[in-house]
Amino acid sequence: MRSSNVTLKSIADRLNVSVTTVSRVLNGKSDRYRISKETQELINTAAKELSYSPNQLARGLRLKRTNTIGYIIPDISNPFFSSIAKNVEKSARKLGYSILLCDSEEDTKIEENLLQLMIDRKVDGLIISPVGLEVNHLRRIAQKNIPIVLLDRYFPELNLPFVTSDNYKGALEAVNMLIEHGHKRIACIQGLVNTSPNNDRVRGYIDAHKTHELSVDKKLIVGDSFGEENGYIETKLLLKQDDPPTALFAVSNLISLGAIRAISEEGLKIPDDISMVSFDDQPYSRFLSTPMTTVSQQNSQIGQIAIKLLIDQIESNRQLEPKGIFLPTRLISRDSVKRNINLGIKAIG
Amino acid sequence: MRSSNVTLKSIADRLNVSVTTVSRVLNGKSDRYRISKETQELINTAAKELSYSPNQLARGLRLKRTNTIGYIIPDISNPFFSSIAKNVEKSARKLGYSILLCDSEEDTKIEENLLQLMIDRKVDGLIISPVGLEVNHLRRIAQKNIPIVLLDRYFPELNLPFVTSDNYKGALEAVNMLIEHGHKRIACIQGLVNTSPNNDRVRGYIDAHKTHELSVDKKLIVGDSFGEENGYIETKLLLKQDDPPTALFAVSNLISLGAIRAISEEGLKIPDDISMVSFDDQPYSRFLSTPMTTVSQQNSQIGQIAIKLLIDQIESNRQLEPKGIFLPTRLISRDSVKRNINLGIKAIG
DNA sequence: ATGAAAGCGCTAACAG
DNA sequence: CTGTTAGCGCTTTCAT
């Protein structure tokens, strides 16, 4: 029951023409094949009347082209990813592509299955924010010459185009600022370890110390996930240390939410008792009980650029010489950082 | 270049058997067709060796079944929708379905096109959070007997299954509480007018007044979109009124963010100068400068139930007797509501 | 226990 | 100016 089934054939039969002709007219190739005005008329009106619409499955099978893009994200409910997803979908749609969306739940195994699933569904290309701990499944894709663009997370050792924020510089700038405000014990609550955004941000954190000839206390680099829970737990522990940090560098928006929870539970105040800066600006960041100083990423550009890169690749039918694109971040100063008076001699700003 | 193309045929040729046999074995129908153990072996190993994986386009064309669900949302970057999307995708994936995701940008025209696009792609069913102002395109779908479930927004006049929060009761409870705290001039900043969640919430707002034999000042019901901007603008205007409200009922999380911005710009404090309660709890709600009293919805259940309902419909191959499911909300009290001392005589809690 | 053939709906090569 | 034919990769009916 469930089908309308107006096909090229049904139109052809009804008008006593061949499916070829119908196909040609309906695909705007009337001129190239010099189809008579009358048959054009006939076919067009019939198609409209029956509200014909081509079966994209059949079309895709024949053409080896589906106009759909596979999109794999580690967590669509994370506002960072969903704001990017918005622009990925929108840009794709404007260029005539649809999005097959899957969530890998930060699980490499799931990601791997999803990848196969998308290949089987014959997507024209892939945008993926990989979990980032394993490369081999991605390398396999690359070898199959399926157009692909990595988003947010990349692999230095892998020759694939990617677009991401300049996480290193963003972190460097943020931690520099903290140090210049007199902080010497700055904790870094990291996300998923060995993931490029994480590594780059931690590297920025460390280099900021080096620049200021400050040693890094390894015990102050903690955590292992981009989630809220991680921020909460690690902050709890940090605050219990013998020599607790005077400032916190939270590597993601969710981490900082967890950190805030822990800090307030301990009856402490930001920035009076502890200063804080967080990666990822969010619409609510400025309205938090202490408006948060953040490192803001260009979420809308990231998605757009990734799609453009990918569709270029698809439509030019050539492998892109793989290049990585780093987008600059912006440090947004609000109220969560205070000069550290204990030792804060060097006045600033 | 771009293809591996291990097909049933290529396996069949290599082993000198028919594609039929290969198909049967690989689909686990060996027993039913009494395929010999040897050929089974042969085929299975060959398939593994070549890492065969069926072309889902071909399969879908033949079977008229794609195991994909079309999902249309008005704004994936809205954390309310993205948290639902998380569970829609996850539940679908667990049951063997993929999600074709599109964003209608709260635009009926786009929504209509998207609907056709999904039908052409032969999705097995549809989950849609419709814009909600127009019904006809949805009615048309219903008539085509394509399984569909409405999410968040529904149409009383339309016989389609839906799942949504009990917006009426949620609003009723919230505004009741405000009134019982002595507020008599409560503004309601609404979302997209004539949309079911909006209408139900506004109705709750009005009925709360009726219950307490309080008249409703129409000038206090303002706004026209679920976005942040709307919250900002309307709050600005409200605060300039001759007899400004002592409390605000914001119909969405984004609206409340806008309202907060306006309130703080005017140098006012929540709840000292104005009380506030907002629909939609978010992870950050408790950390706002004034922890926000909210009406919390069961986002994860909503998505799950919608998918279950839809897949039931798909796999039972029958139209569901369309029923609407309303999920209860929960009022989370925090610090954004204060007893109104001006006239607040009736003490409470 | 296995295969041949038809067909899902479409496009393209070739033919006139 | 139009049509015939083949085929994309798969499943299923009907035969044997």
Q: What is the pLDDT of residues B76-106, one digit of tens each?
A: 999 999 999 999 999 999 999 999 999 999 9
For residue B22, give the nucleotide whose C1' atom is nearest its CA: C2
- The CA distance from A82 to B55, in Å, is 30
Cβ <8 Å between A260 and B287: yes
Show the tokens assigned to A119: 């290949």
Does residue B348 register a pLDDT over 70?
Answer: no
pLDDT range class, residue B345, cuts 50, 70, 90: very low
pLDDT for position B153: 96
* CB < 8 Å to B86, chain A: 75-77, 103
Q: What is the pLDDT of residues A85-132, one digit of tens each?
A: 999 999 999 999 999 999 999 999 999 999 999 999 999 999 999 998
**Residues in B 214-273 with any Cβ partner in A closer than 8 A:** 228, 254, 257, 260-261, 264
Does residue A178 register a pLDDT over 80?
Answer: yes
- The CA distance from A99 to A86, in Å, is 11
Sign of the C-alpha dihedral computed for residues B194, B198, B199 and B205 taken in this order: negative
Cβ <8 Å between B93 and A101: no
pLDDT for position B143: 85
Q: Which of A48, A69, A76 to mutate to test the interface with B (most CBs of B within 10 A)?
A: A76
Protein-covered nucleotides of chain C (CB closer than 7 Å) are 1-5, 7-13
Parallel/antiparallel/unpaired status of strands A293-296 and A330-332: antiparallel
Cβ <8 Å between B100 and A99: yes
pLDDT for position A342: 61
Tell me which of A65-74, B274-283, B336-345 is least confident: B336-345
pLDDT range class, residue B337, cuts 50, 70, 90: very high
Q: What is the mean pLDDT of chain B?
A: 93
pLDDT for position B275: 98
Protein-covered nucleotides of chain D (CB closer than 7 Å) are 1-5, 7-13
pLDDT for position A5: 85
pLDDT for position B5: 85
pLDDT for position A317: 75
Looking at residues B130-154, what average pLDDT do you find? 91
Looking at residues B293-314, what average pLDDT do you find? 96
* CB < 8 Å to A85, chain B: 76-77, 82
Cβ <8 Å between B264 and A287: yes
Which of 3.30.390.30, 3.30.450.20, 3.30.420.40, 3.40.50.2300 would CATH assign to domain A66-165+299-328? 3.40.50.2300
Q: Where are the alpha helices (DSSP H) in chain B?
A: 8-15, 19-26, 37-49, 56-63, 79-94, 108-120, 136-143, 167-180, 196-211, 228-240, 253-265, 299-316
Q: Which residue intervals of chain B bear CATH 3.40.50.2300?
A: 66-165+299-328, 167-297
For residue B59, give the nucleotide whose C1' atom is nearest its CA: D10
- One-letter identity of residue A227: G
pLDDT range class, residue A15, cuts 50, 70, 90: very high
What DSSP string describes A235-277?
Answer: HHHHHHSSS--SEEEESSHHHHHHHHHHHHHTT--TTTT-EEE
pLDDT for position B278: 98
pLDDT for position A102: 98
Looking at residues A65-71, what average pLDDT do you find? 97
pLDDT for position B131: 94
Q: What is the pLDDT of residues A258-305, one digit of tens each?
A: 999 999 999 999 999 999 999 999 999 999 999 999 999 999 999 999
Superfamily holding B167-297: Response regulator (3.40.50.2300)
Q: Which of A121, A126, A252, A334 to mutate to test the interface with B (most CBs of B within 10 A)?
A: A121
Residue given tokens 């998918």 in the structure block: B307
pLDDT > 70: what percent of chain A? Answer: 96
Q: Which residue intervals of chain A bear CATH 1.10.260.40?
A: 3-54
Looking at residues B305-329, what average pLDDT do you find? 89
Q: What is the pLDDT of residues B186-234, one digit of tens each?
A: 999 999 999 999 999 999 999 999 999 999 999 999 999 999 999 999 9
B5 touches strand D (CB under 7 A): yes
Q: List the single residue in B with minimal CA-CA distance to A80.
A: B77
Superfamily holding B3-54: lambda repressor-like DNA-binding domains (1.10.260.40)
